[in-house]
Structure 1
Amino acid sequence: MTRFVALLRGVNVGGITVKSADLADVVRGLGYDDVATVLASGNVLFTTSEPAATAKTRLEGALGDRFGYEAWVHVLTAAAVAKITAGFPFPRSDDRHAYVVFVVKPEVRAELLATELDPDVEQIAEGEGVLYWSVPKGSTLDSAFGRAQAVARHKPWLTTRNLNTLEKLAR
């Protein structure tokens, strides 16, 4: 049995509302064990013997059926999330956000890495399957990298989480 973290893309923003209790019900309904949601931003922990790819496919189908939207889910082991959080390369401070962008399509990752940044404002670095991002608080949506992520064609391929959230998920 493996402990997994599922990160749902685009829920509880833009009109797609998924309550934590309903999310947990869907995941339990798939037969997964030890189900727990973390915060209200589409994060769920569960245990199964299925491979991550199978869990991803089943979760996307069940979420789409239950909530009526095209679900995009990133499924990683809890151990992988712990490794990703430990690899955050930038100093942390109270005036900056520490983010991890999960990107499953290499072409999208390459395009995002090519974003022209003001290094005095934000920094990005590549990790294993992720991009690490540091940006001043209040500048997330206005920054060059924030705008680059918001491109509609990227939606199925990425999701962003605050490092603090990921640390909760990796425990």
Structure 2
Amino acid sequence: MATDAPERFIALLRGVNVGGITVKSAALSAAFVEAGFRNVRTVLASGNVGFELAGAEADLSALKLQIEAVLERAFGYDAWIVLRTREEVRRIADAYPFARRDDIEHPYVVFSSSQDVLDELLTASGEARSSVEAVLLGDGVLYWRVPKGSSLDTPFAGLLAKQKYKPHVTTRNLRTVEKLVTV
């Protein structure tokens, strides 16, 4: 049975509110509303937007480009996002493969629009072996577990920080990913 309910999407912005690119949640929400999206909600101040798109099935590639153009016009930076449906984000959160030990470890999800980049990072993470962290490939993401307080100084963190990968990945704490499912 077909439904007329609009599909819910999650846009994950890369590189905002760091490095001099400031995007306030209210302005971000307004930019999405002005672009014609509905039921827009932002989550935290790290560039997470939930929104609806009514009508025919969305072409995700075209929608991604449209949103990046909206962001570039509204905020004057070279915007890059990862775009997923809310159901995809739910499946990604539910599939987190490591034990949850939030008191001693941080659970992360590394998103990319390029499977090649994820595969390359996974291979490189194996070469940079670390006994303190773990990285596994998921469905269009990498799952990363790292000791609390170490997310900037482990071998995999070093890989993510390389200029080669920065334009192609964005990382979210699993708790944030779980919140995104509710927007």
TM-score (norm 2): 0.89
Does 2:82 align with 1:74?
A: yes
The match for 2:36 among 24, 31, 38 is 31
Unaligned segments of structure 1, at least 5 residues: none
- Partner Cα separation in structure 2 for residue 37 and residue 53 of structure 1: 21
Task: Report 1:1-171 matches (<5 A).
Answer: 1-49=6-54, 50-93=58-101, 94-114=103-123, 115=125, 116-171=127-182
Greater CA deviation, 74-83 or 103-112? 103-112
Rg larger in structure: 2
Following TM superposition, by how much is the alpha carbon of 1:126 offset from its aligned partner in structure 2, in angstroms? 0.4
SS in 2 for 1:75: strand
* 2:112–2:169 CA contact under 8 A, matched in 1: yes
SS in 2 for 1:17: coil
Following TM superposition, by how much is the alpha carbon of 1:119 offset from its aligned partner in structure 2, in angstroms? 4.3
Counterpart residue identity of residue 41, structure 1: S
Following TM superposition, by how much is the alpha carbon of 1:52 offset from its aligned partner in structure 2, in angstroms? 2.4
* 2:130–2:154 CA contact under 8 A, matched in 1: no
Following TM superposition, by how much is the alpha carbon of 1:89 offset from its aligned partner in structure 2, in angstroms? 0.3
Following TM superposition, by how much is the alpha carbon of 1:117 offset from its aligned partner in structure 2, in angstroms? 4.1
Between Structure 1 and Structure 2, how many residues are aligned? 171
Percent of paired sites with the same residue: 49
